[in-house]
Structure 1
Amino acid sequence: MIEPLIVDMHLDLAWDAIFWNRDLTLPVKKVRSQEQSEPPQVAPDYNVGHCTVTFPEMRRGYVGLMLSTIMSRIDARRNWMRDGMRTQEQAAAMGRGHLAYYQLMARRGEIKPVKTVDDIDEAVVAWQNPTPQTPIYHILSMESADPILDPDDVAFWWDAGLRAVGPAHFGDNTYIHGTGTEGGLKPPAKALYQAMQQAGMILDITHMADQAVWESLEIWNGAVFASHCTCRSIVKGQRHLTDDMIKEIIRRDGVIGLVFCQWFIDPQITWENRPSSYIPKKKMEDLVPHIEHIADLAGGSFDNIAIGTDMDGGFGAELTPIDVDTIADLQLLSGVLTEHGYDDEVITGIMHANALKFFKNALRN
């Protein structure tokens, strides 16, 4: 029997709530109704799309544990969504605003922070028989390390609950080169990494430029994962993982979160040349080639595969797999995988068990 619990390793919920002004305590239908009359359009000619993730919808889909991001960065180029800040201090202030949002949602009882192995065990037990009041448990993560002002600031963030850090995002920032750029680590990165390792944080290589991945892994001895990535050998583009990167994550007992976005599963699209208009045609079953490829690189093991949907992370229902309208539809994935011949153990691993094992080991160590 497959337990319904789902772990989603990447959701930008504070960014959704603050940048797009979404009340995530409402049902998805209510948010969509609000935005029909007043679309949350911040950047010219950019629309985030139809909402897919709110707390009620997560409960309906048994998404009981997530990685919730602090997502703020500097970006002198004024990126396509116009959410980059001009200085690191501004990015840090925005990041602390995201932290405050999660703290307020915890105060309300919507979510509950996970900081230890015991907290993970509590989440699993709570979601075996959830009620409408059961909180969604969350491990605090960070996408772009700009909000960490310097190595001394790591202690503040650790005490606040931050457990996983992806130093990179779009462009280059204080510490590293990321998606759309070429380069490696910047001079401040080494001291930051040392402080992160000493604290016990987990490294997320998602969004790193290729050179930055290998320079990071050369000096990082702690736990490593890729929260939301797919395979570059299937879908071309720098944003995705090369086979060598996947092999290194596997060698280090890490996990890779499958992204529920057309741009990550349609081989006809390259990341650098994403079309301005696009008719979605891929379903959840189109994640299967990525699952098979990662397993092949792992010698037939499916233990390194997890879920990192990135839903509402800059795209909406228009770009999710066509059989996914909201995050609650993740429950349909088990049936899709069963139809493709996977047994209950493999499916349970992908849905939650692989991620749970990884984070328990990482936090324990």
Structure 2
Amino acid sequence: MIDAHCDLLYQLWRHDYNVNQSDALQFDLEKWRASPIKVQAFAIFVPDTTPLNQQFDVALKMIDLFYEKIVLPNPDIIQIQSKLELENLQPHQLGAILTLEGCHPIGTDLNNLVRLIDEGVRIVGLTWNNNNAVSDSVMSIEGKGVSRFGEEVIQLLNAEQIWTDVSHLSVRGFDDVIDQADHVIASHSNAYRICQHRRNLTDQQIKAIIKRDGLIGVTFVPEFTKSSDFVSIDDLFEHIDHFIELGAEDQLCFGSDFDGITNTISGLENVTGYHRFKKELFDHYSRRIVNKISSENFIRKFPRIN
């Protein structure tokens, strides 16, 4: 199985947690190895409260943590930068992918994004919940779309064969990405028809991603799943059912958002919950569909070949 989004790097930067095992983490290396997740995407998430002149340095620090804590000390963990590397993972190996959640750390300097791509970033979210020089976010009152600088960012991502991530993006920004980006992903978003949260995708947006042969990461954020104090795995299946009913079985993957959330779905309190989730997936859907959304869709669409 593959997970397209977690915030472990943010937690390691913010706290002195033991990456090997910590009860405070929903994702650590012990839990990862005990789970069915074969490949995990690790987001570089710089809080927007970080002073502007320090944001890019914090992003680089999170990359250092990725190498120092996750990749270099663990021979079984391989950094994934291409589809070829993804396909060549051995049975005893795990894959780790760097992603960027929000372009605010690059400011208005395209060279900063080039640096992050050179370090291995393979999914780039244009915004988090804050506006930046690339685009407004879904939380913006004005909801402006992609700026002229943002167009340059998308052109670079196209040239470098990198996913453009629309999760957190304004509605107008989403439409701009659909028009301009070669490789579209919503790394951690659910269906608005099922749960009316502004971070979720409308039917029109889902159909647009289907038309572009993009990817949608079903997320485990409780408030994106159901407007209730208690959220179960069955509630998550309502979203998957809806995506499939709209024709998105070739677009689905998972983007848990572990360590980016405080509340959790019952049975999915941490990454080891994927065992139960996987079993229930097979109870609900055919093996063909489960295999697609567990890993095949993600691998097939990985933009950079080698």
Tell me the TM-score normalised to structure 1 length: 0.78
Partner of 2:236: 287
| Structure 2 counterpart of 1:289, one-letter code | E
Is the contact between residue 258 and residue 307 of structure 1 (CA under 8 Å) also seen in structure 2? Answer: yes
- Kindly report structure 1 stretches of 4+ aligned residues shifted beyond 3 Å: none
The answer on 1:56 being equivalent to 2:26 is no
Is the contact between residue 154 and residue 199 of structure 1 (CA under 8 Å) also seen in structure 2? Answer: no
| Structure 1 counterpart of 2:85, one-letter code | D
Fraction of identical pairs, as percent: 21
- CA distance, structure 2, for counterparts of residue 71 and residue 326 of structure 1: 19
The answer on 1:101 being equivalent to 2:75 is no
Where 2:167 maps in the other structure, the secondary structure is coil
Is the contact between residue 178 and residue 209 of structure 2 (CA under 8 Å) also seen in structure 1? Answer: no
The answer on 1:312 being equivalent to 2:269 is no
Partner of 1:158: 117
- CA distance, structure 1, for counterparts of residue 279 and residue 130 of structure 2: 38
Please report how far the alpha carbon of residue 312 of structure 1 lies from its aligned counterpart in structure 2 after TM superposition.
Answer: 1.2
Instruction: Look at both structures and tell me which one has the larger radius of gyration over its CA atoms.
Output: 1
| Structure 1 counterpart of 2:146, one-letter code | L
Please report how far the alpha carbon of residue 354 of structure 1 lies from its aligned counterpart in structure 2 after TM superposition.
Answer: 1.6
Is the contact between residue 155 and residue 199 of structure 1 (CA under 8 Å) also seen in structure 2? Answer: no
Which one of the candidate residues 73, 98, 101 is aligned to 1:140?
Answer: 98
Tell me the TM-score normalised to structure 2 length: 0.92
- Aligned-CA RMSD value: 1.8
The answer on 1:72 being equivalent to 2:51 is no
- Map 1:105-124 onto structure 2 (within 5 A): 105-109=70-74, 111-123=77-89
- CA distance, structure 1, for counterparts of residue 305 and residue 222 of structure 2: 35
* Range that drifts further, 236-245 or 178-187: 178-187
Partner of 1:234: 194
Please report how far the alpha carbon of residue 9 of structure 1 lies from its aligned counterpart in structure 2 after TM superposition.
Answer: 0.4
Please report how far the alpha carbon of residue 111 of structure 1 lies from its aligned counterpart in structure 2 after TM superposition.
Answer: 3.1
Partner of 1:331: 275
For structure 2, list consecutive stretches of 5 or more residues without a partner in the other structure.
none
Please report how far the alpha carbon of residue 219 of structure 1 lies from its aligned counterpart in structure 2 after TM superposition.
Answer: 2.3
Please report how far the alpha carbon of residue 334 of structure 1 lies from its aligned counterpart in structure 2 after TM superposition.
Answer: 2.4
Partner of 1:14: 9
Deviations 1:37-87 (A, max 9, x none): xxxxxxxxxxxxx532111101101212011111115x3xxxxxxxx2231
* Range that drifts further, 205-214 or 177-186: 177-186
Please report how far the alpha carbon of residue 158 of structure 1 lies from its aligned counterpart in structure 2 after TM superposition.
Answer: 2.1
Please report how far the alpha carbon of residue 232 of structure 1 lies from its aligned counterpart in structure 2 after TM superposition.
Answer: 0.7
Please report how far the alpha carbon of residue 201 of structure 1 lies from its aligned counterpart in structure 2 after TM superposition.
Answer: 1.5
- CA distance, structure 2, for counterparts of residue 351 and residue 199 of structure 1: 26
Please report how far the alpha carbon of residue 243 of structure 1 lies from its aligned counterpart in structure 2 after TM superposition.
Answer: 0.9
Where 1:24 maps in the other structure, the secondary structure is coil
How many residues are aligned here?
301
Deviations 1:284-331 (A, max 9, x none): 121111111111211xx522111100011132xxx2221123211112
| Structure 2 counterpart of 1:61, one-letter code | S
